[in-house]
Structure 1
Amino acid sequence: MNAPLRLGTRASALATTQSGHVAAMLRERTGREVELVEVTTRGDVDRSPLASIGGTGVFVSALRDALLAGEVDLAVHSLKDLPTGAAEGIALAAVPPREDPRDALVARDGLTLGELPVGSRVGTGSPRRAAQLAALGLGLEITAIRGNVGTRIGHVEDGRLDAVVLAQAGLSRLGRDGEVTEVLDPFQMLPAPGQGALAVECRAGDEDLVALLAALDHPSTRAAVTAERAVLSTLEAGCSAPVGALAEVVEGDDGEELWVRAVVMSTDGALSVRMSATGSPGDAHGVGSRLGQEMLADGAADLMEGPQPEGSDRVGEQHA
């Protein structure tokens, strides 16, 4: 009998829920038993702003170290936390079907974004969300916060904040989507590249496990997030402003078509470059890269001040 697969996960409620979902899929589709192994990352213990401790990569590196050391067999991440560069010895073996990629508002008294009074305090840990909120011109006071989903919503419940903006996917996975007062239209707020998707990694040399995990892969989701991350990686070459991107595979006249939208903003939301592109899902990386290059040529390269893009090696948003 095969030994249980050891699945490395962060210890937060959202991370263990996501990892438990992947474990259940593995049991169902492959018949293998899976056990969760909690791994503490620097991002879990250091409450400093992410920009000062290395960005979203701080949630990933400890899990990858455990993989390479043979302490776990596979690891599950929120895909938007993955640095865009390849990791030596690590394979992105599966991208399961994506949850809702949109952002969501949890506000006092059931209010929507447009119903919040001028001066309302809205919390977010994301430069991307902060910039897009500012660009809406609603007169909101945007407050930087960190912490897990429960902590952030707690700031609304105890009156310290009027609302928080979180990822709809995380709230759904935790069974807290009933607390959402508005799901934000991507035309108002484009999500982070990869938001709502999970990444399942294992050692690149473990060919049998790479093949086994392929049973969890969802081609349309992988194509979408590949395009979004290609936009981000291209922009990182010349832009350090907040970035949002969303790709979808849709039915076109000649079969499946990949549609990508992206925005680069100044941190105060005053300036932005918005563009979109279409192409073949089989050329997802190329579609995203070309879009990023067009955005740089259209002025995104001038938006150089402020935090690094989400999902980069340097700065971004924490899970929620």
Structure 2
Amino acid sequence: MITLHSRTVRLGTRPSPMAMEQTGRFADAFRSRNPDVALDICKITSEGDAHHGPLSQIGGKGAFTRRADEHLLDGRVNATIACAKDLPSPHDRAPGIIVAAVLPREEARDVLILPSGHAATTLAELPPGTRVGTSAPRRAARRRCGDVVIEHRAGDEDAAALLSPLTHRATRIVLDAERAVLSSLEGGCLTAASAHAVLDPVTQKVTVHAAVLDPSGGPALRTASCGPADRAAEVGRDAGLALLHAGAARLLAVSPH
């Protein structure tokens, strides 16, 4: 808990350059809003950071968050920050952890990284036979990491009061819808499935486009669902259930080559 006597928030984060850049952006926003509260940054090296090889070898789900979760639940930190893509799906999430804030969504598309000196190109323009490395079954089957999430322990009202006002509402809505899709499919970071939601600022309706891909290269199953923003999670669940009714369970059971 954050006591009125200490007025210090200990924030757990991975030590990678990307994580530290994201943490820096959050820290600036937090300190601007809470100038009387100290923010201590605690670097936590995740299993994913220390492992060199496919994430499936260390369980995949939660590879970048398990150690931070342990620090949060045992009180070593008051909050943690992570990319939403690294969080286990809601059905796999450790109990007792609450999403407190979601920062504005950044670029959500994947990036193709090429050797130094290679001419700029797109994935579709690469010559036949090009070998593209990835650890994600979704990318392997399809040939997106734009949201930053801050979490705290359930029941920590002091942390919630400090962190929740920093939430970017539109991003939280689409994130809730997208994660509900994966929860319905009982999928995670090793699942060849995708979900992308958009919020119409005028109608305040959220639309979710979701797909389950065939790791063997066969046809994908796709669907879309739309509904009011205040029911974003329900809209996402509807999309996930529609995919299951269309036979997604068969594809979800296929292991990538």
Contact 1:29 1:215 in 2 (8 A): no
Residue 262 (1) aligns with residue 210 (2): yes
After superposition, the Cα gap between the structure-2 partners of 1:290 and 1:229, relative to the gap in structure 1 and judged at 3 Å, is same
Pairing partner for 2:132 from 108, 111, 122? 122
Counterpart position of 1:79: 84
CA positional deviation for 1:121: 2.3
How far is the alpha carbon of 1:241 from its aligned partner?
A: 4.7
1:278 to 187, 212, 226: 226
Amino acid at match of 2:20: T
* One-letter amino acid matched to 1:199: V
Aligned residues: 243
Q: Which amino acid aligns with 2:167?
A: D
Which residue matches 2:70? Answer: 65
Which TM-score applies when normalising by structure 2?
Answer: 0.88
Report the Cα offset of residue 22 of structure 1.
1.1
In the alignment, which residue of structure 2 is the partner of 1:109?
A: 119
Q: Offset of 1:109 from its aligned partner?
A: 1.0
RMSD over equivalenced CA pairs, Å:
1.8
The CA deviation string for residues 163-192 of structure 1, in whole angstroms up to 9 with x for no partner, is xxxxxxxxxxxxxxxxxxxxxxxxxxxx3x
Q: 1:132-151: per-residue Cα shift (whole Å, max 9, x none)?
A: 12xxxxxxxxxxxxxxxxxx
Q: What CA deviation, in whole Å up to 9, does each residue of 1:56-101 have, x standing for no partner? A: 3021111111112221111101111111234322221111111111
State how 1:16-55 maps to structure 2 within 5 Å: 16-31=20-35, 32-55=37-60
**1:171-228: CA deviations, max 9, x gaps?**
xxxxxxxxxxxxxxxxxxxx3xxx3111101122220111110121111111101111
Query: What amino acid maps onto 1:23 in structure 2?
Result: A
Matched, 1:245 2:195: yes
8 Å Cα contact 1:91-1:204 kept in structure 2: yes
C-alpha distance in 1 between matches for 2:142 and 2:20: 30
1:200 is aligned to 150
State whether residues 91 and 203 of structure 1, in contact with CA within 8 Å, keep that contact through their aligned partners in structure 2: yes
Letter in 2 for 1:270: G
Structure number with greater CO (CA < 8 Å, separation at least 6) is: 1
Residues 35 and 291 of structure 1, relative CA distance in 2, 3 Å threshold: same
1:233 aligns with 2:183: yes
Looking at structure 2, the residues matched to 209 and 285 of structure 1 have their Cα atoms a distance apart, in angstroms, of 24
* 8 Å Cα contact 1:258-1:281 kept in structure 2: yes
Unpaired runs of 5+ in structure 2? none
CA 1:241–1:88: 2 relative to 1, 3 Å: closer
Unaligned runs of 5+ in 1: 134-190, 308-320
Once the two structures are TM-superposed, the CA of residue 115 in structure 1 deviates from its matched residue by 2.4
Q: What is the CA deviation profile of residues 262-292 of structure 1, one whole-angstrom value per residue up to 9, with x for unaligned ones?
A: 1101112212101111111110111011111
1: distance between equivalents of 2:201 and 2:170?
11
What corresponds to 1:11 in structure 2? Answer: 15
1:301 is the counterpart of 2:224: no
Runs of 4+ in 1 over 6 A off after TM superposition: none
Partner SS for 1:92: strand
- Structure 1 residues 112-121 or 70-79, which shifts more? 112-121
Does the 8 A contact of 1:93 with 1:201 survive in 2?
Answer: yes
- 1:116 maps to amino acid: L
| 3-state SS in 1 of match to 2:32 | helix
**CA pair 241-43 structure 1, distance change in 2 beyond 3 A:** closer
TM-score, normalisation: structure 1: 0.72
Deviation at 1:114, TM superposition (A): 2.9
Paired residue secondary structure (1:94): strand
Q: Percent identity?
A: 41
Measured against aligned partners, the alpha-carbon deviations of 1:17-56 in whole angstroms (never above 9, x if no partner) come to 1112111110112223312111122222222321121113
Is the aligned partner of 1:291 residue 2:239?
yes
Q: Deviations over 1:229-286 (max 9, x none)?
A: 111111128xx8500110010145xx21101101101112212101111111110111
2:82 and 2:191 map into 1 onto residues whose CA distance is 24
